[in-house]
Structure 1
């Protein structure tokens, strides 16, 4: 009997490293967010045939549902019996069965219920449902019709599905084990990249598994060389790659004490794959000038990371001075006289100015004018240290760094400049993938 289990994984905000994160030589700063994706996995009555079913349900989005039949002859065959398309769910399942090689005649049917915290999608006309432990927003539209805020919902989805299936196929799975987390990470990276039709940077998947991190990506050749068109050797190659020790950086970090982030949804969203394609085309056609711009951005990224680390050190070594620093930020004193804050502001300004050049030259809305205007207005608010359009940019939610005592909602209410922004109730999340109690999700369908 398969015991019901539940898993969750956080969203992300890439504060430094956009576009450069695709190259393993560059460091990036990724903050995991308290908005989490959730999955509850259980067995259902078996069909008793030479196949088994995996039913994936997302009741929050107009009762979305995908039903996959898994069979095996010379290779594993996966088909959605109603012709519905969900590339992330399908690739996660496909990668998992090829890696774990379950016996289809002995497998029970599975049901996996998905939930996503508020913050991943614009609220719109959604309704809140709650029990004693959790609350979620329920929409009257399908998941593809509700605008996303850019917090990494697809990466979180693939991670919790991978964890759920790894448990279903290998019941000894332990979400606290470093080895099992690494296995989930590697499997989810492969599935997520295949679903996107490209080898992405992987920072979003890494944050979903490991939490807030300094990240340098793995060698993309690990995934590029998988023989997906050769079923006879694909599973063997996949197992070999997944079980390898991947060379990449995922050092855990946390924001300095007394400083938090604030995400602001502009109710639009962007297609990251299209932005990346445009920027890559611009980079190749403008080389070596484009390399110089990337190097300028990298200098800003490293100065930003160094500035954050200096604040963390100061908070520990000289708490009195650090408290005065936070008071100065909140009172809107001249922060240019505070070296650590001035360094972070200058670093972000350098990053943003170069991203604005890429925007104007590539046609990709990396930092579109509307976001530039909004961020500049935010920088004039009391308590705000700096702000960025995280990740690949575009019209996803903006991200601000500010002091704990800053009330952004109060400062911006009834101000037309900020009428397009819905401030999200989120905070930094230090934990990545973790196990939850299935009881938390009862009565939420």
Structure 2
């Protein structure tokens, strides 16, 4: 029996929210240590006209989806029990039409999905572990457990694509740029089709490549694909994946040494699609003023990215000065006398102030009042450089850039302002999708 395993990181879009939908704007995406996992195995072929792909997650009340693959391209897969999971379904459909296997020569495939603690609110879940991994097991189905906004759907799609692709392409190497681009392109297609629209793709890019400076691809690349049941779909898909230059930027980045990310979950996720729809409507109704506001946000984004870059350079060129700066930040004394710290804080405040304006005018809760208060209070904590509601905003977990030495949970332990916050045990992780050891996913107790 063939057995392989892969994982992909979550993400926090620190700057670039909403503007990332336009290819002209840069965004800054930090990949996180909480990862999605897929363990794939294939039974020996048997003499039958089709094969079954089972995708299951024992973490969520034994959620399971069974897809039958029969006939020939174009493959339109069907779930045997009528159960809906658009992301899993589209991955299966995209991979089948890209790889175009002969169903009568295939053995059944099983993919087991796991998600690290951090993707979902803790609730009444039970922590189970073995010698290698630990996961939280919930008594509800996955649709009923609140998400924290780390990009679970992008992570799921990326590891599913990697797992299934490895069955049909046994020499798949997730350490090779060419194979990573293939995984990225397939994942973007599946993710966009599952959502019913072409998103910006930054979450998939982070899941595949890790922490990146990102500028999106042209959405028409995916929009121009024929319908999945079209006779030309497989050929068009292969051409798009293998022969087309998507012209997107994914430059690997890292937070400056001595700084890390911490996220605070308020146990109340957001529906990104609804937020985006409201902001789009507001933007169209307020041109050219809305464009001017976007340009102000972009100025803040660029200033933030430049400030982070200056810190990385300073840490290499003048380690002692850099160390003193971190100490002042950690102690909470006089750190705003440093120009770079002040630049980063002012850049983020410029971004946040414009998003608060859009919140008030559009009705989209990009930075609702409760999150404004939480971020403002967080800026008073020792060791905190800055903080945002990442991505599309809303009630997802807040992100703070803090010093490695800071202990945010202990500072906020008895503070009523933070009584609703659960600090997630996360850190930056530069690596995107990677191989795992299949045997590390057994015997959780």
Contact 2:76–2:229, Cα closer than 8 Å, also in 1: no
Alpha-carbon distance, 1:46 to partner:
5.0
User: Which residue in 2 is equivalent to 1:210?
Assistant: 209
Distance (Å, rounded) in 2 between the aligned partners of 1:56 and 1:158:
12
Distance (Å, rounded) in 2 between the aligned partners of 1:281 and 1:230:
32
Secondary structure of the residue that 2:231 maps to in structure 1?
helix
Asked whether 1:425 is paired with 2:407, we answer no
Distance (Å, rounded) in 2 between the aligned partners of 1:56 and 1:47:
20
Asked whether 1:283 is paired with 2:304, we answer no
Asked whether 1:233 is paired with 2:232, we answer yes
| Structure 1 segment 427-442 matched on structure 2, within 5 A | 427-442=427-442
| Structure 1 segment 257-406 matched on structure 2, within 5 A | 257-406=257-406
Distance (Å, rounded) in 2 between the aligned partners of 1:178 and 1:238:
20
User: Which residue in 1 is equivalent to 2:145?
Assistant: 146
TM-score by structure 1 length?
0.98
Secondary structure of the residue that 1:128 maps to in structure 2?
strand
User: Which residue in 2 is equivalent to 1:249?
Assistant: 249
1:348/1:390 CA distance change after superposition, 3 Å: same
Contact 2:50–2:70, Cα closer than 8 Å, also in 1: yes
Q: Deviations over 1:43-98 (max 9, x none)?
A: 13656321110000100000100011011246313111011100000000100000
Distance (Å, rounded) in 2 between the aligned partners of 1:384 and 1:77:
50
Secondary structure of the residue that 1:4 maps to in structure 2?
strand
Q: Deviations over 1:83-128 (max 9, x none)?
A: 1100000000100000110110111100000000000000001001
User: Which residue in 1 is equivalent to 2:177?
Assistant: 178
User: Which residue in 2 is equivalent to 1:85?
Assistant: 84
Unaligned runs of 5+ in 1: none
1:138/1:229 CA distance change after superposition, 3 Å: closer
Q: Deviations over 1:397-445 (max 9, x none)?
A: 0000011111101100011100010000000001000000011101139
Q: Deviations over 1:107-166 (max 9, x none)?
A: 110000000000000000100111110010000000000000000000000000000111
Moved over 6 A (4+): none
Secondary structure of the residue that 2:140 maps to in structure 1?
coil
User: Which residue in 1 is equivalent to 2:99?
Assistant: 100
Distance (Å, rounded) in 1 between the aligned partners of 2:413 and 2:223:
48
User: Which residue in 1 is equivalent to 2:200?
Assistant: 201
User: Which residue in 1 is equivalent to 2:127?
Assistant: 128
Unaligned runs of 5+ in 2: none
- The number of residues matched between the two structures is 444
User: Which residue in 1 is equivalent to 2:22?
Assistant: 23
Distance (Å, rounded) in 2 between the aligned partners of 1:187 and 1:273:
21
Alpha-carbon distance, 1:230 to partner:
5.5
Distance (Å, rounded) in 1 between the aligned partners of 2:149 and 2:266:
11
Alpha-carbon distance, 1:229 to partner:
5.7
TM-score by structure 2 length?
0.98
Distance (Å, rounded) in 1 between the aligned partners of 2:416 and 2:132:
36
Contact 2:73–2:100, Cα closer than 8 Å, also in 1: no
Q: Deviations over 1:14-66 (max 9, x none)?
A: 00000000000000000000000000000136563211100001000001000
